[in-house]
Each structure stands twice: as C-alpha cells, then as structure tokens.
C-alpha cells in the first residue's frame, strides 16, 4: 500500500466496517516500521490500477498481528482475502514468525468462517474489547 492508494482503500473500509479507520490511521500504519500493508490490485482497461482488497499487519516479536483486512464488496467470495492471508503467512515465515494472531468480532460470523478456512482457531477472548458496544473479542491464532 502506498499513500496514493489510500483514497481507494478508504472507500472499501467505509463500506466494510461500522467503525472504519480514517485516513490518518492508514497514513500512520504506512510510517510504522513494524507494520506491513499490502493491497491487491486489478488492472483496469485504461491501464490504471483498481485497489480491490488490503491487509494491514504488524510484526510483534515472533508473532504476526493482523489488524485489518477487507475486500471490496464486488470482489468478495473469489478467494482474494484468502490470497492476502497467504501472503501475510509467507511474509511472517520469512521473518521467522511462529504464529499469526488476530481479534475478531464474535458477531462477524462471515469473517470467523473466513479465518477458520485458512487455519485459524479461537484461542481466547478479550472482555469488553470493542469500546463502541462493550462486546468481547475472539482471539484467533494460527501456527505458521
């Protein structure tokens, strides 16, 4: 992900989450040396690029923390999210990370199925993690 991708990333973010990240958050992730931010792009007929998905993650000691992932509405269900996760796992293995970790909203069953399909398991809960609703988060992890 580059700064020039952020407008398109924000458009996907807004329709994907009830409390979407803003521009400043993406900008600061691009500056964060422990973070990696990857976009999936499609070549348009006019030669330009269309951002169709992205994932943001951190290297934390020997863990990968996935902090954001979304696929553009029209491109969901085509395996693009899974490909992005595989890219994250491969980056993690290159850096000798042992595990990938993320927090999921328990009511986001689609996302939970999506993560399970790529090998994540629920390993715990964080009480009151989501400040807007007070809902617990599920902690999911996968060995790399």
Ligand X SMILES: CC(C)(COP(=O)(O)OP(=O)(O)OC[C@H]1O[C@@H](n2cnc3c(N)ncnc32)[C@H](O)[C@@H]1OP(=O)(O)O)[C@@H](O)C(=O)NCCC(=O)NCCS
Size of the site for ligand X (CB under 6 A): 18
3-class DSSP state of 36: strand
The footprint of ligand X on residues 23-52 (CB under 6 A) is none
Token output for 99: 């595990």
Return the number of other C-beta atoms located less than 10 Å from residue 40's C-beta: 18
What does the angle CA 117 – CA 122 – CA 125 come to, to the nearest 5 degrees? Answer: 145
Give min distance, CB of 16 to ligand X, in A: 4
Instruction: Kindly tell me which residue out of 1, 97, 101, 111 binds ligand X, with binding defined by CB under 6 A.
Output: 111
Instruction: Kindly tell me which residue out of 14, 98, 117, 126 binds ligand X, with binding defined by CB under 6 A.
Output: 117
Segment near ligand X (CB under 6 A); pick from 3-11, 25-33, 34-42, 64-72: 64-72
Instruction: Kindly tell me which residue out of 48, 94, 110, 131 binds ligand X, with binding defined by CB under 6 A.
Output: 110
Q: Tell me the C-alpha distance between 106 and 138, whole Å.
A: 6
Contact by Cβ (8 Å): 71, 12: yes
Contact string (CB under 6 A) for ligand X, positions 74-93, x = contact:
--xxxxxxx-----------
> Does the annotation count 103 as an active-site position?
yes
**2-20: burial string, b at 16+ Cβ within 10 Å, e else:** eeebbebbbebbeebeeee
Residue least distant from ligand X (Cβ): 81
Q: Where in the sequence numbering do the catalytic residues fall?
A: 103, 115
**Residues that bind ligand X in the complex, under the rule CB under 6 A:** 16, 69-71, 76-82, 104, 108, 110-111, 113-114, 117
């Amino acid at each position: 992900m580059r700064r020039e991708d952020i407008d398109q990333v924000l458009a996907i973010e807004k329709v994907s989450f009830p409390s979407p990240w803003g521009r400043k958050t993406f900008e600061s992730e691009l500056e964060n040396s422990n973070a990696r931010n990857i976009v999936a792009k499609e070549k348009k007929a006019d030669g330009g690029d269309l951002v169709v998905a992205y994932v943001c993650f951190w290297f934390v000691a020997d863990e990968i923390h996935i902090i954001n992932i979304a696929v553009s509405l029209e491109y969901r269900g085509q395996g693009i999210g899974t490909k992005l996760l595989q890219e994250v796992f491969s980056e993690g293995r290159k850096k000798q990370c042992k595990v990938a970790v993320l927090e999921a909203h328990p009511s986001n069953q689609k996302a939970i199925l999506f993560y399970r399909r790529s090998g994540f398991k629920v390993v715990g809960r964080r009480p009151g993690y989501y400040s807007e609703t007070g809902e617990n988060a599920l902690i999911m992890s996968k060995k790399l």
